Structure 1
């Protein structure tokens, strides 16, 4: 086993890393569930009351509530992804680097 493989094995086995990985997984699944329910809600409204999303925003306008709802979903998906990436590349990456430093310090 190479030194890199040994280091990786120690990092993966470290309790702080495992705790961080669990937190990151819970965050990812939570955001996925939120997006799932947003999309299912949109499809549910289309299936149960399609006229609602076809309602014109203003009298004589070609813009409907469905357009706003679709744009809002896209923006929401972008924002929730942005938050996840910000946390994953910030807080969780810092935690990972801390564990790597601890493991490398223990090797010296």
Structure 2
């Protein structure tokens, strides 16, 4: 594929929209996960007493439900990504790919 076709694809509005939406979604979910995980690590590093304190007056500490909630959150974020990707991004990707294929299959006007 020559540079002219590549540039046409990169400047295509549907292709740009698809890339922007996928990027925005992935960065948003990544930031959410990083903030939660780094927050938990900071809590481990700077407030161990809270994590070691009893959750229910028994042997269960706050660290256990908080650690499990991070794992559950990661599964939930995967589900959110899958739902949005299947219902919003896939149709957009199909439209963009049709236009990309049309550009790629164009004959040179020489």
2:89 aligned with 1:86, yes or no?
Answer: no
Give structure 2 stretches of 5+ with no counterpart: 106-110
Deviation at 1:88, TM superposition (A): 1.6
Task: Give 1:57's match in structure 2, choosing from 55, 58, 66.
Answer: 55
User: Which residue in the other structure is 2:36 paired with?
Assistant: 38
Separation in 2, partners of 1:11, 1:62: 60
2:93 aligned with 1:96, yes or no?
Answer: yes
Number of corresponding residues: 102
Deviation at 1:27, TM superposition (A): 1.3
- CA separation of 1:103 and 1:50: change in aligned 2, threshold 3 A: closer
- CA separation of 1:12 and 1:82: change in aligned 2, threshold 3 A: farther
Deviation at 1:58, TM superposition (A): 2.2
- After TM superposition, the score normalised by the length of structure 2 is 0.75
Give structure 1 stretches of 5+ with no counterpart: 2-7
User: Which residue in the other structure is 1:28 paired with?
Assistant: 26
Q: Secondary structure at the match of 2:53?
A: coil
- CA separation of 1:56 and 1:100: change in aligned 2, threshold 3 A: same
2:69 aligned with 1:72, yes or no?
Answer: yes
- After TM superposition, the score normalised by the length of structure 1 is 0.77
Q: Which moved more, 1:66-75 or 1:92-101?
A: 92-101
RMSD: 2.6
